[in-house]
Structure 1
């Protein structure tokens, strides 16, 4: 079941990943460890490479050993309780020319040069200190997660094979996705985007663009969309008439005064609270399982067709709202509390009349 917060992106490929022991490198400050005299300045990265890829244990990485490396997974290095310092540089990674997967989340990287790693399919570098990221030579890239970095610009025009992009929690104000026509999943929430042109991304199935500065969102070309989370934006209108495959919609905390869901019969989850809706027609949304519509000036809420409803949240203490149900309606959460409060109010008035 889908949840509110953007999920951590999953890799679309799996390669055998090496492990690291929590020990710092020994010896000279910057020893030459590659066959061509190349070095790895960062002691933690150097130790990782030698422990996992120096198969003949001669203290060097030969060209054959380097070419055999397909995946590097630095992760968080033995967990948060480890005394191993964060990696500050991946200089030396250019020697692994066949590298397909690089995971370096949660370190202290301020730059990342992958211009020689042209076979790279998967890059996960979230939770670092990157301000820029040049991926112009990584044309084989399929999955990119660069979330939680202070990146201000992101040029992906050369990454036309990209299918998954996670760039949330950055400082992006605008970016061009017109060349990324293979994109199916986009997570760009918690940025400063004022516009988002997705007209060329017709294969998009998942879009999470919460916490930006979007005033409008044109999804008319994104007919494959199944998951949409666009909450916490100043969006005033949302046309979903072409998104008939939509199953999950979160448009919380916008400035919507109307929401037409008549073409979205596949919806199973709807969260539209904290808007300005005075009406909400759910007669065509009979597949709804979860509904959240609190903090709207609704005067009428018809739930009589929602037999599959398992959870509902609305202003149940607002006795001005008229809630319509029938014997098929699932009585759950706020709906039950609403009915109980209505009955309590009736009993209170009855007692007052008796007095």
Structure 2
């Protein structure tokens, strides 16, 4: 086992040194890393069945090895000394072991480094309400939320409870008291942890994933009863997020949920991560700030009008994802093909870029730029 242990250490050392985001281990090829959005094979031997199994055993806790046998997959977090933390997903494929390790940076990034919309700072200081951070897997949701929790910890005297699966960023108590509960280790499930949290005198509750009706319902209720609740969803865009939350519920409950959501939600941040020129990554954001007008749209089931409200809500700090993407292209931070690929309306964005190349700009093309240094 000892030489194998050395081998995983060597691989993780490379990941940390080269600021790599993910390490992929699978049978039939050398270890592969994702660097600046691209998959790159390391120049080592091709891994066989015994290699991947031994690499897995060298870092996977006993209880996770058991879960892997029973369910075919398991997730956990672990610390690589004091250099970095990793989120690990182990799975079976063709009856053999595969693994993906995602590096979680040790340091928290500031709102400015992440290029977060400035209104975020204002929203997270509200006394209550639901704040959703959405986007596909790997779009930086965890990093943005960790940055928000870190800011609150440094600036507000709150009790913050997080429920995560697994815990990624570790927070020390600062101005706030922070309790982090890991699903499957400290508590059984998100709904259980959420119900428990309400009896633990929290100011802020972070729900790592709102993946089912029970969790979503509990989060909305918690937000209504005087807590700030952060949650994540794998949805794209603010409008789609509101629809998704409502659609989870049976038809006969949807009207009531619309009303609860309209009263409880304070903002939705939707994000996408793109390759940055010449290297690194940069985030594009869509920001919905729930004004009384938007609250009414949610209540009345007119969510299809949310996008045009974001477009006209610039003075409240709102921005559409496609406007953010356009700015990244215009400010020379991203390639045209990359911004179009992440766009909600690729055709529209493409013709807007074509017009801009000819010197014809839309009225609201401004100079915001968002940064996300990886």
TM-score, normalized by the shorter chain, greater than 0.5: no
**If each structure's strand is expressed as a fraction of its own residues, which one has the higher value?**
2
The higher radius of gyration belongs to 1
Larger RCO: 1 or 2 (CA < 8 Å, sep 6+): 2
**If each structure's helix is expressed as a fraction of its own residues, which one has the higher value?**
2
